[in-house]
């Protein structure tokens, strides 16, 4: 989806203009990962925060995206057992020697 961003004459950084209503919610949704990852300019962040303060649904949506991200980051992954580590090593050495 194309970014819908307007640039004001005399300003270098593009600024989102977010009011309320579904159209504005979609604009916010487009940028929530960048917002969570702190990749947006101060002006854009302020506009998004203003929209979030005015729109409980978007606030809840942002929380759910943040929680999703935290679950992914903290999902433990099983470790390779010592036996599997040794067995895999043998298989790799054998395959390397025969090809």
Partner 1 sequence: MALRKKSRPDLHDGHAVSRSTSTSFDQLYRDHVDVMYRFAYRLCGETEAAKDLVQETFLSAYRAYDRFRGDAQISTWLYAIASHACQRMRRKRKGEPERELSLTEFVPTSGGEFSLQVPMEGLSPQEALENKELRQILDRAIAKLPRKYRMVLVLRDMEGLSAKEVGGILGLNERAIKSRLHRARLFVRRELSGKGLAGEFHSDVTTGHR
| Residues in touch with partner 1 (CB under 8 A) | 1, 22, 25-26, 29-30, 32-34, 37, 39, 57, 60-61, 63-65, 67-80, 84-85, 88-97, 99
> Least separation, in Å, of the C-beta of 3 and partner 1?
10
For partner 1, the closer of residues 6 and 74 by Cβ is 74
> Least separation, in Å, of the C-beta of 42 and partner 1?
19
Q: Is the dihedral of CA 31, 36, 42, 45 positive or negative?
A: positive
For partner 1, the closer of residues 12 and 22 by Cβ is 22
Residues 6+ apart with CB under 8 A from 55: 20, 24, 25, 28
> Least separation, in Å, of the C-beta of 98 and partner 1?
9
**In angstroms, rounded to a whole number, what is the distance separating the alpha carbons of residues 56 and 37?**
21
> Least separation, in Å, of the C-beta of 97 and partner 1?
4
Dump the DSSP string for 48-69. Answer: HHHHHHH-HHHHHHHHHHHHHH
């Amino acid at each position: 989806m194309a970014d819908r961003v307007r640039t004001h004459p005399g300003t270098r950084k593009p600024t989102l203009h977010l009011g309320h209503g579904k159209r504005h919610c979609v604009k916010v949704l487009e940028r929530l990962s960048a917002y969570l990852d702190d990749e947006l300019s101060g002006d854009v962040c302020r506009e998004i925060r203003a929209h979030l303060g005015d729109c409980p649904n978007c606030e809840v949506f942002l929380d759910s995206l943040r929680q999703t991200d935290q679950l992914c980051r903290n999902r433990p992954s099983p470790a390779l057992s010592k036996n599997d580590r040794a067995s895999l090593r043998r298989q790799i050495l054998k395959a390397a020697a025969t090809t």
